[in-house]
Amino acid sequence: MKGRQLLMIPGPIEFTPEVLRAMGMSTTSHVAPDFIQVFGQALEQLRQVFLCPHGQPFVIAGSGTLAMDIAAANLIEPGDQALVVNTGYFSDRFATILERYGAAVTQVQAPSIGDAPPLEAVEAALKANTYKLMTITHVDTSTAVGVDLQSLAALGQNQGALVVVDGVCSVAGEEMHQEAWGIDLALTASQKAIGVPPGLALLVAGPRAMEAFRRRKSPVGNYYADWKEWLPIMEAYQAGRPSYFGTPPVNLIWALNVSLGQVLEEGMEARFARHRRLSEAFKAAITALGLKQVPVSPNRAATTLTAPYYPQGVGPELLGRANAAGAILAGGLHPAIKGQYFRVGHMGAVSASDILATIGAIEQGLAQSGYKFEPGIGLAAAQSILTQ
Using the 3D structure, point to which of 207, 241, 266 is the last residue of a domain.
266
Residues 376 and 333 in one domain: yes
Together in a domain, 126 and 203: yes
> What 3 state SS string does the chain have?
CCCCCEECCCCCCCCCHHHHHHHCCCCCCCCCHHHHHHHHHHHHHHHHHHCCCCCEEEEEECCHHHHHHHHHHHHCCCCCEEEEEECCHHHHHHHHHHHHCCCEEEEEECCCCCCCCCHHHHHHHHHHCCCCEEEEECEECCCCEECCHHHHHHHHHHCCCEEEEECCCCCCCCCCCCCCCCCCEEEEECCCCCCCCCCEEEEEECHHHHHHHHCCCCCCCCCCCCHHHHHHHHHHHHCCCCCCCCCCCHHHHHHHHHHHHHHHHHCHHHHHHHHHHHHHHHHHHHHHCCCCECCCCHHHECCCEECEECCCCCCCHHHHHHHHCCEECEECCCCCCHHHEEEEECCCCCCHHHHHHHHHHHHHHHHHCCCCCCCCHHHHHHHHHHCC
The CATH number of whichever domain residue 309 belongs to comes to 3.90.1150.10
Q: Dump pLDDT digits (tens) for 109-168.
A: 999 999 999 999 999 999 999 999 999 999 999 999 999 999 999 999 999 999 999 999
> Is the pTM above the cut of 0.85?
yes
Q: Is residue 120 part of a domain?
A: yes
- Split into its structural domains, the chain has a count of 2
Q: Would you place residue 4 in the very low, low, confident or very high pLDDT band (cuts 50, 70, 90)?
A: confident
The answer to whether residue 238 sits within a structural domain is yes
Q: What is the CATH number of the domain that holds 242?
A: 3.40.640.10
Domain around 364 = 6-12+268-386
Domain assignment present for 343? yes
pLDDT tens, residue by residue, 28-59:
999 999 999 999 999 999 999 999 999 999 99
216, 248, 266 — which closes off a domain?
Answer: 266
Judge if 181 and 214 occupy the same domain: yes
Q: What percent of the chain has pLDDT over 70?
A: 99
Instruction: Please give the average per-residue pLDDT across 71-86, as a whole number.
Output: 98
Query: Does residue 1 sit within a domain?
Result: no
